[in-house]
Amino acid sequence: MADALGIDQIGNDPALVTGPWPGTLSALMLDTEGTFDDLVSRYAGSPDQAEKILSNRFYRNIAGALSGPQEYMASEKLYELATSDDYDPIVVDTPPTRNALDFLDAPGRLARFLDHRLYRVLTAPTRGLVRAVNMAAQTFLRSVGKVVGGEVIADAIAFFAAFEGMDEGFKSRARLVERLLVADSTAFVLVASPRRDTVTEAAYFAGRLAENDIDVRALVVNRIHPTVGAHSPAEAEEAAERYAGTALGSQYRALADLVTIASAERAYLEPLHRRITGATLCEVPFLPVEVHDLETLELLGCHLFTDVA
């Protein structure tokens, strides 16, 4: 996408994209570790507390390596941009469905974890921690230490101890992020190609959204073959056989193949249409070129913003 937008370098801060359009367009690619660092610096009670956390080896490992922080930091970055008043629409390109669901659940998971008794024990001051952790827990920690190493356990305990007092800031922020994701101002757009596997995945995602009372606002069907005339696949096939061996035989064969493919694609899409009946439908045809620069992006945009139902 960065290449298509003509951006040489893209990172955690919005980069301006220049082009022949009114207003401004910016793009960024999430830097999980950088966003996490910014949050720690914001909610730390002092520069010393922030430094203890940022230099902790356990923190440095989880900040950029685990999927949970990645999903939450993506939603946190969205909240930061949405509340900056610097942008009108903000578009988030999520990973495949399973990761997108993690993105939606991440703020709530973080808030629940910060309310959990285990978290309160881990963030207790060091001497209180010794009193709070019972013998069974200490035995468990020793067992884990034998597997992953005592230093790892020590780093983890030091991290949670240094985190003490920051939970309210993180928790309130997580609740605000969670509310943003379900607000009326947030629209969910499904993008699917007309194949059985991608349609099944899109239908699953729509169902999970519905469980949270979230409607799909629009459905974009990408790389779909157009319908030609009112012929059924059987009628088109009959015509192809009738004209086989004639000067028009190859054209009728190509037409029959196109009608058959287009009909099959719409049959795949029918269950998805029934599930999201109120959504705006936009069909993007199979383009003759790859979308790789601003010119071809504009061609794609012509279908996105003019061919809606």
* Whole-number Å distance between alpha carbons of 104 and 235: 47
Distance CA 224, CA 136 (A): 59
Q: What is the pLDDT of residue 54?
A: 92
Q: Which two tokens stand for residue 96?
A: 């495949």
Same domain, 270 and 294: yes
Tell me: do 24 and 35 sit in the same domain.
Answer: no
15/66 same-domain check: no
Domain span at residue 136 reads 31-183
The residue among 158, 183, 208 that closes a domain is 183
In this structure, what token pair is assigned to residue 103? 């993105």
What is the per-residue pLDDT for 123? 61
Looking at residue 33, what is its pLDDT? 85
What pLDDT sits at residue 129? 47
- The three-class DSSP label of residue 282 is strand
Identify the CA nearest to 224 among candidates 272, 268, 271, 284. 284
Nearest partner of 170 among 65, 35, 11, judged by Cα: 35
User: What is the structure's pLDDT at 153?
Assistant: 66
Q: Do 127 and 215 belong to one domain?
A: no
Verify that 164 and 221 share a domain, yes or no: no
- The maximal CA–CA distance of the chain, rounded, in angstroms, is 92
Dihedral sign, Cα of residue 24, residue 34, residue 94, residue 112? negative
DSSP run (H or E) holding 67 = helix 67-82
- The pLDDT score that the predictor gives to residue 130 is 47
| Same domain assignment for residues 230 and 158 | no
Q: What is the CATH number of the domain that holds 234?
A: 3.40.50.300
The span from the CA of 204 to the CA of 178, in Å, is: 21
pLDDT given for residue 141 in this prediction: 53
3-class secondary structure, 281:
strand
pLDDT in tens, the chain (309 residues): 788 888 888 888 999 998 888 889 999 998 888 888 988 898 888 999 999 989 988 788 776 655 567 788 888 899 999 999 999 999 998 876 666 777 888 888 888 877 877 666 666 554 444 444 544 455 555 554 554 455 666 777 777 778 777 878 888 888 998 899 889 999 999 999 999 999 999 999 999 899 888 899 999 999 999 888 778 999 999 999 999 999 999 999 999 999 999 999 999 999 899 889 889 999 999 888 888 888 888 888 888 876 454
Q: Which pLDDT score is estimated for 59?
A: 83
Q: Is 104 in the same domain as 207?
A: no
Calpha distance 63→40 (Å, rounded)? 11
The letter for the amino acid at 298 is E
First CA to last CA across the chain, in angstroms? 27
Q: For residues 177 and 204, state if they share a domain.
A: no
Cβ contact 12:39 at 8 Å:
no
Q: Please count the helices (runs of H) and the strands (runs of E) in the chain.
A: 15, 5
Looking at the 3D structure of the chain, how many domains does it have?
A: 3
Spatial neighbors of 19 by CB under 8 A, at least 6 apart, are 6, 25, 294
- 65, 97: one domain: yes
Interacting residues of 34 by C-beta distance below 8 A, sequence separation 6+: 11, 12
pTM of the model: 0.77
pLDDT at residue 136, rounded to an integer? 47
Chain CA centroid to CA 166, Å: 27
Residue ranges of alpha helices (H) inside 83-134 are 97-115, 117-122, 126-132
Last residue of a domain, one of 183, 202, 226: 183
Residue with tokens 């009909």: 263
Nearest alpha carbon to residue 180 among 107, 87, 111, 114:
107
Look at residues 203, 176, 44, 164 and name the one whose alpha carbon lies nearest to residue 110: 176
pLDDT of 76 reads: 87
Asked if 160 and 255 sit in the same domain, the reply is: no
Q: What are phi and psi of 276, to 5 degrees?
A: -120, 60
Q: Is 203 left (phi over 0), alpha (psi -120 to 50) or beta?
A: alpha
The verdict on 246 and 287 lying in the same domain is yes
Closest C-alpha to 219, from 180, 267, 274? 274
Domain ends where: 183, 204, 219?
183
174 and 58 together in one domain: yes
